[in-house]
Structure 1
Amino acid sequence: MKSRLTYYILAGLVAGLIVGLGLHWSIDDGTPASAAQLAEIAGYLSIVTQLFLRLIKMIIAPLVFSTLVVGIAHMGDTSALGRVGLRSLLWFIGASLLSLTLGLILVNLLQPGVRLALAIPPATAASGVDAGAFDLAKFVSHIVPQSMIEAMATNEILQIVVFSVFVGVAITAVGEKAQPLVRATEALVAVMLQITNYVMRCAPFAVFAAVASTLAERGPGIIGDLGYFMLTFYIGLLLLWAVLIGIAFLLIGPRTRYLVRYIRDPLILAFSAASSEAAYPRTLEALDRFGVPPRIASFVLPLGYSFNLDGSMMYMTFASLFIAQAYGIDLSIGQQITMLLVLMVTSKGIAGVPRASLVVIAGTLSMFRIPEAGLLLILAVDHFLDMGRSATNVIGNAVAASVIAKWEGGLDPRGDDDLDAAARTFPQA
């Protein structure tokens, strides 16, 4: 089923392209009436995508809670938890610096914004993105939930992680008396994974609707207008993929090729749906197949969704400097490094913020006196850029969990023959 699902998702993507472009070309005649009709059709199509994303959000909170609690309980002691947590944060910081720096280098080399040569807009011009939606002080205080029920109801992943850590540590401290609770939570994990299988069957329809609605309303022109910017950004993402997978080869060895094979499904799902969150359950399953112990995967992966969004971080430096180039604003190396460090800090608070990357970019632009209205340049193609960002986030978190499992000596030591057999049977699983 899993392999067939991959092909169904790809088929949905292609069908969405065909239907979306067909609708746009058949209806659009340049009049406001046709634009309104296309917007209405896109609105109806997007209902399918929104339903799918709501189904994903429905299972994320209980799945993160149950897998994380079980994982911590199986670690056996708090020292192991602290060690894994420290190694995870160190990896996340290193990966963040890598992503931001690579974006900085590429945008300076490829100069995607220079050819636009736009006039600086009035100071009163706005982008429509609330730059004040992120505040570091509020983020720090917001880490700890004031209510576990509220955190789950609003899908605040970082708050759920904090609460789950407390529950897992407490279960470890209580010991034998808490074993019924551990067994019940393990049963909850099994149930949530089964629900995930049901939900994933809707993915091809959601992918079709998402692509069709975007192209029907906006047409192919939005890709052509900023085609060079999109091309250079995707070149950057592919380089980041190569670097991350290369590091995994150095630290894990040739078995990394099986990790690449196993994360194919969540990667395609994240790309097609433009949502890292949609791929979370499948990424968890892929890591388990690769041999990452559930106690590590269920701890590192939720943390990664708050602290290790590699694709989003590369986008922040890339987009910020692209806008500066478009307006002919020359930033010194010192200013660019300062921007990188600012983004390094602020990017750690973007989980759960609507249009998170754009929000952080908007706040950063004002710090360096770059017109915030420049965000309007990239808003039209943000959906297509988000597809690449989401897929990159999946790769970054899968590599992080695998490397940390290797450091912990917990990566399943199956031989290549076993892995080859698993790889042969996996597509038919």
Structure 2
Amino acid sequence: MLLPNTPSPALPVPLYRQTYVQVLVAIALGAVLGHFFPAFAEQMKPLGDAFIKLVKMVIAPVIFLTVVTGIAGMPHLNAVGRVVLKAMAYFLVFSTLALVVGMVVANVVRPGAGLNIDAASLSTTEIATYASKAHDMSLTHFLLDIIPDTVFGAFTSGNILQVLLLAVLFGISLTLAGERSKPVIAFFEAMTAPVFKLVHILMKAAPIGAFGAIAFTIGRYGIGSLQNLMYLVATFYFTALLFVIVVLGTVARLTGFSIFQLLRYLKAELLLVLGTSSSEAALPSLMEKMERAGCDKSVVGLVVPTGYSFNLDGTNIYMTLAALFIAQATNTPLSLGEQVALLLVAMVSSKGAAGVTGAGFVTLAATLSVVPSLPVAGMALILGVDRFMSECRSLTNFVGNAVATIVVARWEGALDRDALSATLASGGADQATSAVEAPAE
């Protein structure tokens, strides 16, 4: 979003003041601290947690203001339904494709083959919490949880979909109210500027948050913890990279842009997601950058928050790959029918992951419980390295939602293709108001 009356800088921002460089340095320092001083590094966890809480604090107002003002600016209300339907169609197709890709790679590479682990010997103590959460992930529970208990409860629950539902309904009501709603719309539009300025301020702490999160991860689990399960981790990263470059890259090319230019444009946000293992940490910045790249404000406001719950490509790849890894490691044969059933259940359970802490692991527990022969206790095999795979899940989810926003905007005829080409070609370097690269005032 280009804020009014914001002058462009005469000189480019120095490299050392660009947050993506600072985050990269912080990640490296955190990894070094975690490796050589693990006990001390574990104490850095509050830094990462605090930063994520700061960002989550502003997610609700960012989504609410963006969606309400976007819908109020639409000429016809049927445009809202049209955008949502197109977005959901896209999410369904590519989320399912991600599940299929994970399943195919797992059957071809077979990362768990040869481990010959007796499922009865595995401890279920550590996974009991995740398994219990999985019982709350039914479709009915998920749908009812979208409705907040109160209007203000939507802003305090931490559930993105509750804020989105309230924003859509309120935006529609403002449109139906006609002329009488203009002062309210003007107020919300005026509120948008300081809220995004607040986002800019909070992003200054991104390097600190990334440092704390990565230091804790390496200090707690150690780089050596990857050795025994390196094949699974490497397979997952390879599959996610394959999905981004081949599948999303093809979609990007058909839409008229390069996936590599998009990744370059979002480099600061991607590093932030890598450092914090949370795609939510970069949600406000993603919305702002998508608008700057030529996507209509109303489309961004509807697609991005919805995609964070319904378009989890990385989580979907992880679920089928991890499920088949457990089956292979415990020598549990799965027929084609059982694998298809696993895939169908994963399509539903992944949607119930919205707002659940440790969503990838929780949804895996819910999915495994559907196939009786598949030992849920096998999750203990990957618990130690799940934290390392969560970064890849978050990165893939983030890129998938960025691509989805541009695609839906083009389908809706709400994409300024000239702005998209110019912004991606420059890598956003000429934009002074970036949420993560703005110079200090």
Q: Note whether the superposition's TM-score is higher than 0.5.
A: yes
Give 2:323's aligned residue.
320
- CA distance in structure 2 between the aligned counterparts of 1:416 and 1:16, rounded to whole angstroms: 35
Q: Which residue of 2 aligns with 1:79?
A: 78
Say which is worse superposed, 174-183 or 212-221, in terms of deviation: 212-221
TM-score (norm 2): 0.89
Looking at structure 2, the residues matched to 110 and 201 of structure 1 have their Cα atoms a distance apart, in angstroms, of 42
Is the 2:349–2:366 Cα contact (8 Å) retained in structure 1? Answer: no
Q: Report deviation, 1:256.
A: 5.3
| Partner residue, 2:241 | 238
Distance 1:422 1:136 in 2: 40
Q: Identify which of 26, 29, 41 aligns with 1:12.
A: 26
Name whichever structure is richer in helix by fraction. Answer: 1
Verify the 8 A CA contact 1:46 1:213 in the aligned structure 2: yes
**2:407 matches 1:408:** no
1:379 to 380, 383, 396: 383
- Separation of aligned partners in 1, 2:85 and 2:239: 29
Task: Give the match for residue 398 of structure 1.
Answer: 402
The alpha-carbon deviation at position 340 of structure 1 amounts to 0.4
8 Å contact from structure 1 (residues 362, 375) kept in 2: yes
Separation in 2 of the partners of 1:374 and 1:163?
40
Do the aligned residues in 1 keep the contact of 2:42 with 2:217 (CA within 8 Å)?
no
Conserved 8 A contact 1:259-1:290: no
- Give me the whole-angstrom Cα distance separating, in 2, the residues matched to 1:383 and 1:265: 21
- How far apart in 2 are the matches of 1:264 and 1:75? 31
Report the Cα distance in structure 1 between the residues aligned to 2:156 and 2:296, rounded to whole angstroms: 28
Aligned to 1:159: 162
Q: 2:3 corresponds to which residue? A: none
Measured after TM superposition, the shift of residue 251 of structure 1 is: 3.0
Residues in 2 aligned to 1:17 and 1:71: alpha-carbon distance in whole angstroms: 41
Residue of 280, 283, 297 corresponding to 1:280:
283
Q: Which residue of 2 aligns with 1:31?
A: none
Q: State the one-letter code of the partner of 2:27.
A: L
Match of 1:267 among 270, 284, 303: 270
- Taking the aligned partners of 1:67 and 1:2, their CA distance within structure 2 comes to 31
CA contact (8 A) 1:107 1:318 kept: yes
Query: Percent identical across equivalent pairs?
Result: 36
Give the alignment of 1:129-140 within 5 angstroms: 129=130, 130=132, 131-140=134-143
Say whether the 8 Å CA contact 1:262–1:289 is kept in structure 2: no
* Equivalent residues of 1:265, 1:282 under 8 A apart: no
Counterpart secondary structure, 2:37: helix
Q: Which runs of 5+ in 1 are unaligned?
A: 25-37
- Conserved 8 A contact 1:88-1:404: yes
Q: Counterpart of 1:115 in 2: which secondary structure?
A: coil
Give deviations 1:194-253, integer Å, cap 9, x for gaps. Answer: 111111111111111111112122222211121110000000000110134323334321
- Is the partner of 1:133 in helix, strand or coil? coil
Deviation track 1:294-350 (CA, whole Å, cap 9, x = no partner) reads 111111001001111111111111111111111000101111011101100111111
Name the counterpart of 1:425. 430
**Amino acid in structure 2 at the alignment position of 1:19:** L
Q: Is the contact made by 1:244 and 1:396 (CA closer than 8 Å) also made in structure 2?
A: no
Q: Which moved more, 1:217-226 or 1:303-312?
A: 217-226
Q: Tell me the residue number matched to 2:118.
A: 119
Report the CA distance shift for 1:122/1:210 in structure 2 as closer, same or farther (over 3 A): same
Deviation per residue, 1:78-124 (Å, 9 max, x gap): 11111101100000000111110000000111111113210121699
SS in 2 for 1:118: coil
- 2:90 alignment partner, SS class: helix
When structure 1 is superposed on structure 2, of 114-123 and 354-363 the one drifting more is 114-123
Q: Supply the RMSD in Å over aligned alpha carbons.
A: 2.0
AA aligned to 2:378 is G
**Partner AA of 1:394 in structure 2:** F
Residue 415 to residue 346, structure 1, CA distance change in 2 (3 Å): closer
